[in-house]
A and B are shown apart, each in its own frame.
Chain A
Amino acid sequence: MKAKIHVYLKPGVLDPQGAAVAGALHNMGYDEVEAVRQGKLIELDLTGDDVESARKRVDEMCAKLLSNPVIESYSIELA
């Protein structure tokens, strides 16, 4: 089984890297870009095939290490 974890900054947390990327896109002429938020995609290869227990374990991993709840939120996709 694979888990895909998206980690992104919470709304209201300034993202200087996203702002720099937006600036670069504007310089390249992509004026339609209103804002950029930069996050992370983390992929896990997991043993076992019980989706519910995997979700619980991956949620724990996110809370304990893969995200920082002070500044980040996350979502989990299992497939």
Chain B
Amino acid sequence: MKSAVIVFPGSNCDRDAHDAIEHVTGQKPAMVWHQESELPEGTQFVMVPGGFSYGDYLRCGSMASRSAIMPAIVAHAATGAPVLGVCNGFQILTESGLLPGALMRNAGLKFVCEKAPLTVENANTQFTSRYEAGARLLVPIAHHDGNYFADPETLDRIEGEGQVVFRYGKNPNGSARDIAGITNEQGNVMGMMPHPERAVDAGHGGTDGLALFESLLGSA
């Protein structure tokens, strides 16, 4: 599967994303600068990485979500192709309207950087098919604005539709209903605050994120 990683000014997990994708597929993803207006020919999987695009000015992800490449990503998602946003990428996908809700300042007001216990709530997605439903994972989080918010009706709807894919074992940021990751209604766009791309190499402290990339891209 041909992959692309989007790079914004202030992205800092773009190379981790690159390495995780290469590790699983053996192929280097295209690194696409945010000022491009098209994805490379034949792109299937798009990853919007973590970081602090535009210094988190105005609202996290707000400026990045209005950059030149975004209409191409929105159009790509509309074809049913997989799009994954991690951390700042999750914020960018909610700001762009590809995912419901918003990510607000952590309830404890502090930046949290730790390994977060997660539960796989829905293993029946193209991002999680290699996990067991209910599996417990340990995946790094590192964010100041990961407090997932949506109105109660939206929360009920996404819970009912199986769009809540990951939940925190211990809520680190005040997220509604302990939500750590969600998909859109069609299931082809996923956003999550934890960093699976930082959990693909035992030398870096764990491999619980590996199955996510294997689910999506097939194992090497």
Contact = CB atoms under 8 A, between A and B. Distances in A.
Contact of A16 (B94, B95, B100, B106): B106
Main SS of the interface on chain B? Answer: loop
Contacts, number: 38
A64 B108 CA distance: 29
Contacts of A13: 104, 149
Contacts of A14: 104, 107, 149, 174
A68 interface: yes
B66 A65 contact: yes
A75 interface: no
Given A13-B149, A14-B174, A16-B174, A68 B107 contact: no
B70 to A, nearest CB: 12
Interface in A52-69: 64-66, 68
A1 interface: no
Interface residues of B, number: 21
A71 B104 contact: yes
A71 B106 contact: no
Interface of B: 58-59, 62-63, 66, 94-95, 100-102, 104-109, 147, 149-151, 174
Interface of A: 12-14, 16-17, 20, 64-66, 68, 70-71
